[in-house]
Chain A
Amino acid sequence: MKRIVILGAGTAGTMMANKLRNTLDKEEWNITIVDQFKTHYYQPGFLFIPFGIYNKEDVIKPKADFIPAGVDMIFSAIDRVEGEANKVYLEGGKILNYDYLIVATGTKTYPEETPGLKDKLWYKEIFDFYTVEGAVALQKFFKGWEGGKLVMAITEVPYKCPVAPLEFVFLADAYFTGIGIRDKVDITFVTPMSGAFTKPIATKMLSELLEEKNIKVIPDFYIEHVDNDGKKLVSYDELEIPFDVLTVVPVNMGDALVERSGLGDDMNFVLTDKETLQSKKFENVFVLGDAANIPTSKAGSVAHFASEILFENLMSAMEGRPLKAKFDGHANCYIETGHGKGALIDFNYDTEPLPGTFPLPGIGPFGLLKNTKINHYGKVMFRWIYWHILLKGKELPVEPLMTMAGKKRVN
């Protein structure tokens, strides 16, 4: 019996387990998937929890519900991979041998990387919404808050779902307007990048949203530490930003297992060929989802598109053929803008987000780089699609590679 081992049963690993089990002969291939936790989180839903739109129950289901029959699911922490020997060491010493390995261990937040972040004010007046604990704590805080300075800060790039912090400030604007205290809330968006938007066309089409909603942007701010007593952010060039409540995207890195296995870069993202999705270290190791160091967004939609390419290449590898399928970095992300509206972006490694319609040229129904009601419904529907189509490894009526059909070139 030959063996495929999948590390991580999150969005990417679960998708792959389903795709492979549907195709590969059960007599010939054993498929094993390993994860440390029993709960699957619908992470895009974390964004809505602070504002009471979703609660914890709306974003969790047992992982096991999504692992098909005929796949061995092991709940255990993974210690390391020994690529030369084709072995995975689980915590506690159990060893798994593999013919092919798929690394899908995602990215994690590391608040301890920023001095003063995980300190006295953590989950009292400083929150993240990239974990369910943080999102729930922030919901409680907002319920009793009477206003003041709300600062949303990004500590470092890359981080997963690059649009989530923007969506957060848009939703905060809508939420505080809704409960009648918007005039008492000062919203500031802090980023180490050169702006809230960095691509020329998206900047042109969307940055007025921030002005309209009276959200202040402080660019080029790289946090050195958080001063808990003075309640302020301090940058490496000694600038300061005071806050009453701070929401933060902590430093994102891959799991330490990547480092222990010698598979990654200095942020513990796995060194991956951006086209074939093969590890740069070992031919029989492939990488899917946020764990890869490929230069596109860390997003569920990317993992979905990439899974079709990885699947084809894995089939080729098994048959001893060259890896012909090439991933283009395709990403498709809804951006909630509040008040029942949303925007949509569709792009890849080479093409920045452009205006137009999606998925049908000229018809849509979704508008690219436009702020519309129907785009908001797209995001709302995404949760259903996530549980019922994406995780099950089924196909969406959208091609994995990006298409220019429906997009307008702009100068």
Chain B
Amino acid sequence: MAQKTLAGKTVEVTDEGYLVNRKDWTKEIAIEIAKEEGIELTEKHFEVIEYLRKESAAGAQLSIRKVGKSGIVDIKGLYQLFPGGPLKYSSKFAGISKPASCV
């Protein structure tokens, strides 16, 4: 756990740079975290991000398949938006916790 200043706001982040408190999230913070990963966020990215924030707040278990069924983007498209690890990166930019298994 560490403190970090993102878009002019000091927030708590995990060792891997995920926000600890989802309430700290702003669009500006998302843009800055994404920049660190070399991704320029577009409207489409934000549609996915808003969907993830909404679903995760409702207690849903997130998966790549679930996002693919959301009607926002298919899985191929999701990979194009967030190359390399779509759920891992989109969750990071959405200010929610890193997708994890039990161990």
**A-to-B contact residues, CB < 8 Å:** 156-158, 162-163, 166, 192-194, 197-200, 202, 206, 219-220, 222, 224, 236-237, 251, 265-267, 269, 274, 293, 295-297, 331, 333, 335, 345, 347, 353
Residues of chain B lying within 8 A (CB to CB) of residue A251: 65
**Complex Cα–Cα for A156 and B101 (A):** 11
**Complex Cα–Cα for A345 and B101 (A):** 12
**Complex Cα–Cα for A162 and B99 (A):** 13
In contact, A192 and B102 (Cβ under 8 angstroms): no
**B-to-A contact residues, CB < 8 Å:** 15, 59-61, 63-66, 69, 75-76, 78-79, 83-88, 98-103
Residues of chain A lying within 8 A (CB to CB) of residue B63: 156-158, 267
Which of these, A198, A220, A347, A353, contacts B98 with CB under 8 Å?
A198
Residues of chain B lying within 8 A (CB to CB) of residue A197: 101, 103
Which of these, A163, A199, A293, A331, contacts B60 with CB under 8 Å?
A293
Closest 3 A-B residue pairs measured CB to CB? Answer: A198-B100, A202-B103, A220-B85
A200 and B101 in contact, given A194-B88, A267-B63 (Cβ under 8 angstroms): no
Which of these, B15, B64, B66, B100, contacts A222 with CB under 8 Å?
B64
Which of these, A157, A266, A335, contacts B99 with CB under 8 Å?
A157
Which of these, B15, B65, B83, B87, contacts A267 with CB under 8 Å?
B65
Knowing that A157-B99, A295-B59 touch, tell me 20 more A-B residue pairs with CB under 8 angstroms. A156-B63, A156-B64, A156-B65, A158-B61, A192-B87, A193-B99, A193-B101, A194-B88, A199-B102, A199-B103, A206-B103, A222-B86, A237-B83, A237-B84, A251-B65, A266-B69, A293-B60, A295-B61, A347-B102, A353-B102
Residues of chain B lying within 8 A (CB to CB) of residue A224: 75
In contact, B100 and A199 (Cβ under 8 angstroms): yes
Residues of chain A lying within 8 A (CB to CB) of residue B75: 222, 224, 236
Min Cβ gap A320→B in Å is: 27
Min Cβ gap B70→A in Å is: 9
**Complex Cα–Cα for A163 and B102 (A):** 8
Residues of chain B lying within 8 A (CB to CB) of residue A274: 59
Instruction: Give 11 pairs: A residue, B residue, CB < 8 Å, sorted on A.
Output: A156-B63, A158-B63, A162-B103, A163-B103, A194-B98, A198-B98, A220-B84, A222-B64, A224-B75, A269-B61, A345-B103
